[in-house]
Amino acid sequence: MRFRCAILDDFQNVASTYADWSTLGDRVEVVSFTEHFATEDELAAALADFDFVVTLRERVPFPASLLSRLSRLKLLIASGMRNSVIDYAAAQAAGVTVCGTQSSSTPPLELTWALLLGLARGIVQENNALRDGGPWQSTVGADLDDRALGLLGLGKIGSRVAQVGLAFGMKVTAWSQNLTEERADEVGVGLASSKEELLANSDFVSVHLALGDRTRGLIGAPELALLKPTAYLINTSRAAIVDQDALLAALHEGRIAGAGVDVFDVEPLPDDHPMRTAPRLLATPHLGYVSHANYERYYGQAVEDIQAYLDGTPIRVLG
């Protein structure tokens, strides 16, 4: 029997180049989709004839309503080892095995600093002016040395962001609901007594929390109001942690100096989404995980997952 495998959201059309799919031989036909399916109906129609599906990160939800429509689906592979938009119970009930891949924290760490530095030094504005014959110097950069960097979350990524901040000579503090003084001391940063204290005293705030019931909407209008008018907010974590409407209002009203955002409430962003035109916003299309090394890891291990499933011994099983 020949199986069919769909690769979703292969926007750059590169999935075939980051792994050796030929190792699967003639047993699996691989098809990449370079366009995002915006609705469940579109997705169900596109995947109706596929046995395996490879999906990137948490962009495409697989709820029970969709899984029940995919009668041929046997194996669902998600990049990363945690995925909040797959209904694991429904997958199990439908006889669908869900597997993951490893994922590196380095790409989102690096993008965090790309956004922070881009904002601090007005990189995009100055580059556009230089290219378009605009003014020679129109911004005054924000310094990092001796400035306060506040981190919401001090896990795998947050702790590495902290180390870079310390290397820049920044005063780094962190806060999360479960963060202990021992953990903060281990990383070499200060522990804020509260979320409110961290927000009020930071020149740069960067979000590095997992999305859950306690973190959804953690930063809303009251919290944004605590930020200094000269402060910057960076979010490369999950969009739902920061109230998108409240952030847009703060940017339009000039109540904060700027924001760097890589995650959005809807992805890909519709052409008319207000985030595309918001002032004081440096935004990227969810590039946090998009790097050569991560793609080699994602797609290479997706091939391994498929091979293991075909051999009857699934690996990296989730749920």
Active site residues: 238, 267, 286
HSE at residue 63, side-chain half, CA atoms within 13 A, is 4
Give the chain as a 3 state SS string.
CCEEEEECCCCCCCHHHCCCHHHHHHHEEEEECCCCCCCHHHHHHHHCCCCEEEECCCCCCECHHHHCCCCCCCEEEECCCCCCCECHHHHHHCCCEEEECCCCCHHHHHHHHHHHHHHHCCHHHHHHHHHCCCCCCCCCCCCCCCCEEEEECCCHHHHHHHHHHHHCCCEEEEECCCCCHHHHHHHCCEECCCHHHHHHHCCEEEECCCCCCCCCCCECHHHHCCCCCCCEEEECCCHHHECHHHHHHHHHCCCCCEEEECCCCCCCCCCCCHHHCCCCEEECCCCCCCCHHHHHHHHHHHHHHHHHHHCCCCCCECC
